[in-house]
Structure 1
Amino acid sequence: MSSKAKVVPYVTAYDGESVSYQLTVYPHTEATDGMRLSYTDATAHDWMFGVLWHRHGLSRSGRPLWKLVNTSRQRRCMLHRLCQVCGRSAVKGGRTWWLLPEPPSVTGCGRRFTHVPPTCRWCIPKARAWCPRLSPESYVCTTRASEAYGVVADVYRPAAGRKLVVVQRAAEVPLEAFRQLEYALATQLLVGLEDLQRLNLQHADESFRSIEGEPWISG
């Protein structure tokens, strides 16, 4: 969303949430070559789905970084089907609502997935109005379910002296790509979209009119 928005979306990162850390490699018995990416002061909470995650604070302090998402909040929205704008449930009538700038990505086997968290139906009209990436023709849809599919991550490779070299930025890595995950630093969770149903513009507009006047709030 642009800096003109009335509310900072729940997933937006702030400059006061930066966390310093140092990456390294360390021995791991389950790793393909016996080593994997880690932090020098790693804890068990730094991993999920077999991948190391970028550290982000949760204070929501400082200046909003409008083009960046907070890693922890993005992942929380994906796992718990929360609205990326207000932080509340995006589930209505057993289905999750999504607002995407373009159609979801598709795997080789035809599975649809996205890195964009859900947007509840109450926040969709405002999001469309304020976000420069969203047009009136943006992709509104609902899903019956979603589940973790992969991560957006920076992928490294070890070099001499335990140094690390970035080989790819913002790569989309499926959770089944174990070798890549061993040297990946995840920043966003990708989820597969089950039973996706798109709302055409007429239906979407009717839904929006039916909720006109609902609160536009920060989570």
Structure 2
Amino acid sequence: MGEPRWRLVHPVRQREAMLRGLCQVCARPARTELGFVFLAGPGDYAPHDTVVTACQPPVCPPHAAVAAALCPHLAGDPVVFLAASCPLYGVLGTPYEFDAGELQALPSEGRPVPYGDPRLDWFLASQLARRLRTFTRIDLAEARALGPRARADGLEAPRWAA
């Protein structure tokens, strides 16, 4: 397995974890009976924010504290969301345009582009995004206490290769 490489998100692993609701640490089902646990940095969202878009996959309850302790972005007091509803929203990546006979990369806005947006016609996606709809803010102790993972309809989750 090895050490985490924080800034180098593996696009296939990120996509699989987001699509299948897998823990970003252990690649096993992350769903609890109450929903999914998502982590964000201390300054990523204001306490009153009602719209949250996550590009980082969820974590299972046993790995919430592990991820928070190891990830430099989560240092301090990470924001922990328990999301009962978190549908796929769009993608994060690089926009392109065709100009003067060449394909040119454009600067990224740094925000996910929602599905259905016409900009996606010329867009190279690198990460899936989920919109947290019905969520509550909890702390790491509450996340740990959520209990064992729910089963993923009998599917065995992939184990990330080193």
Task: Report the TM-score range of the alignment, normalised by the length of the smaller protein.
Answer: 0.7 to 0.9
Aligned: 1:151 with 2:91: yes
**Once the 2 structures are TM-superposed, how far is the Cα of residue 205 of structure 1 from its aligned partner?**
2.3
C-alpha separation in 1, matches of 2:107 and 2:80: 31
Aligned: 1:188 with 2:134: no
**Once the 2 structures are TM-superposed, how far is the Cα of residue 104 of structure 1 from its aligned partner?**
6.2
C-alpha separation in 1, matches of 2:72 and 2:137: 21
Structure 1 ranges of 4+ moved more than 3 A: 6-9, 102-106, 206-211
Q: Which has the larger radius of gyration?
A: 1
Aligned: 1:208 with 2:148: no
**Given that residues 104 and 113 in structure 1 are in contact (C-alpha distance below 8 angstroms), is that contact kept between their aligned partners in structure 2?**
no
**Given that residues 30 and 61 in structure 2 are in contact (C-alpha distance below 8 angstroms), is that contact kept between their aligned partners in structure 1?**
yes
Alignment partner, residue 137 of structure 1 = 77
Pick from 5, 21, 43: which aligns with 1:81?
21
Counterpart amino acid of residue 187 in structure 1: S
Alpha-carbon RMSD across the aligned residues, in angstroms, is 2.6
**Once the 2 structures are TM-superposed, how far is the Cα of residue 111 of structure 1 from its aligned partner?**
3.4
Q: How does 1:108-127 map to 2 (within 5 A)?
A: 111-127=51-67
**Given that residues 105 and 114 in structure 1 are in contact (C-alpha distance below 8 angstroms), is that contact kept between their aligned partners in structure 2?**
no
Q: How does 1:159-174 map to 2 (within 5 A)?
A: 159-161=99-101, 163-169=102-108, 170-174=110-114
Aligned: 1:90 with 2:26: no
Structure number with higher strand proportion: 1
Change beyond 3 A, Cα 1:104–1:149: farther
Pick from 47, 71, 75: which aligns with 2:11?
71
- 1:148-172, Cα deviation, whole Å (9 max, x unpaired): 11111111110223x1111223553
Counterpart amino acid of residue 88 in structure 2: A
C-alpha separation in 2, matches of 1:104 and 1:136: 12
Counterpart amino acid of residue 119 in structure 1: V
Task: Count matched residues.
Answer: 145
**Given that residues 142 and 197 in structure 1 are in contact (C-alpha distance below 8 angstroms), is that contact kept between their aligned partners in structure 2?**
yes
Counterpart amino acid of residue 144 in structure 1: A
Change beyond 3 A, Cα 1:126–1:187: same
**Given that residues 105 and 113 in structure 1 are in contact (C-alpha distance below 8 angstroms), is that contact kept between their aligned partners in structure 2?**
no
TM-score normalized with structure 2 length: 0.76
